Amino acid sequence: MAEKLVKKTDAEWKEELSPDAYQVLRKKGTEPPFSGKYYKTRLPGTYLCGACGNELFSSETKYDSGSGWPSYWAPIDQANVEIHTDRSHGMLRTEVVCARCGSHLGHVFEDGPRPTGQRYCINSLSLNFRPKEQEDE
């Protein structure tokens, strides 16, 4: 497991994040399907952790899974995310968290497209977006 580079108290996270983002990122909540601000985003760029700014997903791996959440077939770098078993809500799922700060991002499923066959189903509230034109500056 990667060492957490960003360590803050719960009170610090609560102060820095919006109430909705705090609920998802720090309390492992989920936004309603089809409600997230990045669900339909098609602009080129990079999706960052909404808590610490860690680079997580590229628009090049984003696709419309029909699930209601932004979906990606791979992270930018596998080292930027951690995978954990999630047995909450009476289900067995695979949770995805930010490797830098430990924030909850969403879940990964084995029903995605080629080349990986994975669907990283990520909450918009867990993300920030940096458009490609800002990356080129």
Active site residue 121: yes
Place of tokens 């998802």: 24
> Beta 119-122 vs 127-131: how paired, if at all?
unpaired
How far is residue 132's CA from residue 137's CA, in Å, rounded to a whole number? Answer: 9
Among 5, 38, 10, 6, residue whose Cα is nearest residue 26: 10
> Which among 49, 52, 101, 121 is annotated as catalytic?
121
How far is residue 38's CA from residue 125's CA, in Å, rounded to a whole number? Answer: 9
> Beta 93-98 vs 81-86: how paired, if at all?
antiparallel
Annotated catalytic residues are: 121
